[in-house]
Structure formats: structure tokens, C-alpha cells
Amino acid sequence: MKNAHLRFGWLTYYKRNEKTTTTFQLRLDRFIGEVSPDSRNRGKAHLISVIGGDTQIAAINAAISADESFEIQGPDVAPIHVSFGRNAQTHRAALQLTGRKRPLRHLIGASEELINNAGSTGRTILAHSDPMFVWMSLAQIHGLPGIPEWADWFCTRLEKHKSIVPMLGIGCRPVIVKGDKKRFLRWLGLGVQRGLLAFPEGAGRIEWPRTGLTDIFSQEPTAAALTQ
């Protein structure tokens, strides 16, 4: 965890009323978002994880509920104004640190699209770009037949058809996968027909690798400031 603070970003929220403007700034350790197709300075937030005091967390929670915008910036992510849209959800908790009398407050916010991330809209948001994780996630979400060894082939198809797009990420490497079950099944069928995908020699249970949140959210942040 040496220099872990250097991997954090900032969330800044400006609360304006008729006479004054109050600024709330919180440390941001995880973020998933996408750039608006109309402006590189505005976008959509899908996940935030912030740490702060009681007043700061309460203000951000209220801002998310009211669908207000705030500014995000961090390693390899230029300042961008984002909002969650309607029906976002938040979860709050306390973090008691050794040597600190009062606990820090922690808030996680998630967009409606991320919560209902079932691929039914032709878009699937994934917090990790590793081929095995992408293939395993899509196979589970869409009920696709296959084995772990098909991961590289499948992700090569995604890249060839420009169906996997990097997202804005802090503390993770998120992507959007474009496509539905019908399309992916057609790819798999062609792969099997042409002898590019091989089935296991023996029958039996298929063992998929286990991936936990620690694996997903332990990646160094990367530049993903790309428009779709």
C-alpha cells in the first residue's frame, strides 16, 4: 500500500444557493464512467467510492439523489463533470481507523444501468478488461455455452468488431461491451464450425476461475479517456 494515496482521485461538488457557493471535496478511490458523445468535459457516472466526513458524505448522497452533477479527476482522468442519472442507489458505511477518534464515512454510488447490468440493452458494463474476466462475465450474464480456454478468441472477436470500448476508470480498468446474446452465439457457432474453438476431450464439469472484488479493483489506473 506504499503511496496508495497517489492512486486516489478527487470528487468535487459545488452546492450553490442564492447567495453562496459551498465546495465539498472528497477522496475518490474508485470510479467508473463514460464520456458524453457531445462533450469531452461532461459524462455519465456509473460507480463512485468516496471517503470523507459526515457533512461531506451527506452532501454527496443528496446530490446523487437529486441527480446533480459533480467534478471527477484523478490519475490519467482529466477533470470531467458527471452525474448518475435517475434511480441511482447509494450505500453508506463507517471506517474506523487506528489512532482516529471519529470514523471516516464511506459512500458508494451506482447508476441504474450498472445495477441492472444484464446486457438486455445491448451494453454490458464490466469493471475489468482482462479477457478471462470479460468472457466469463458475458458467458454468465447471457448464458453462453463455452469453456475458459475460449477467452482470448472471444475477446479478439470483440476487438475486431469494435464491440469493446474502454471507459473512464480510477482504481480499475472498466469497459463497455456492445452486443447481445444472439450476436455472441452466432460468433461461437462460426468458431466451432470452422474448427477454431475446441471442446474438452472428456465430459464433466467445467471449472471457471474465481475472481473476487480484490482482483477486479486492485489494478493500476489507466488512461481510458476515449469517446464511444
Dihedral sign (CA 123, 73, 93, 218): positive
Q: 170 pairs with which residues across the strands?
A: 31
Domain extents for the chain? 4-115, 123-216
By the 8 A CB rule, do 77 and 225 touch? yes
Q: What is the per-residue pLDDT across 77-107, written as a single tens digit (0 to 9) for each?
A: 999 999 999 999 999 998 887 887 888 899 9
DSSP 135: H
By the 8 A CB rule, do 45 and 28 touch? no
Specify the range with the lowest mean pLDDT, choosing from 56-60, 136-140, 204-208: 204-208
- Range ranked top by mean pLDDT from 6-20, 45-59, 115-129, 190-204: 45-59
